Amino acid sequence: MLTRGLFTSERSDWETPADVFTALNREFGPFTLDPCATPETAKCARFYQGIEGLMLPWTERVFVNPPYGRDIGKWIQRCWGVVQEGDVEIVVALIPSRTDTRWWHEWVMKANEIRFLRGRLYFDDGGGRAPFPSCVVIWK
């Protein structure tokens, strides 16, 4: 079906483009934690793998490129929550621009800043161009 191909993806993990991370790290960093990484994709010396990133402590300056699947709302809620609790200085997230979702309206709209990225990103994992628009969300 045509619409399914336009609005969904078989993938939920997309490696952050190096140039995007470098620019964000220059502006908001240095980032001290990447809670959604693997040893191959980690952008910070300190990182968590898989679902453990939702349960372990976040501190200081956090960069988040969460899995984009059904559980993304849990990650976005955590981004907002750790800032509200005073556990971190800043959380910067690279996420899909899914403005029609519940998590967008509940947690992203509470952010200090939302930056919509022009065009579609090329991710660094050989997957090519993303099948969705992206944005950067900043909570502080």
Sorted by where each begins, the domain ranges of the chain are 2-139
Say yes or no to pLDDT of 126 above 70: no
pLDDT of residue 127: 63
pLDDT of residue 25 exceeding 60: yes
SS3 of 95, please? strand
**Topology (CATH level 3) of domain 2-139:** Rossmann fold (3.40.50)
What pLDDT score does 128 carry? Answer: 73
The structure's pTM equals 0.88
Mean pLDDT of the chain: 88
The distance in angstroms from the start CA to the end CA of the chain is 41
pLDDT above 70: residue 13? no
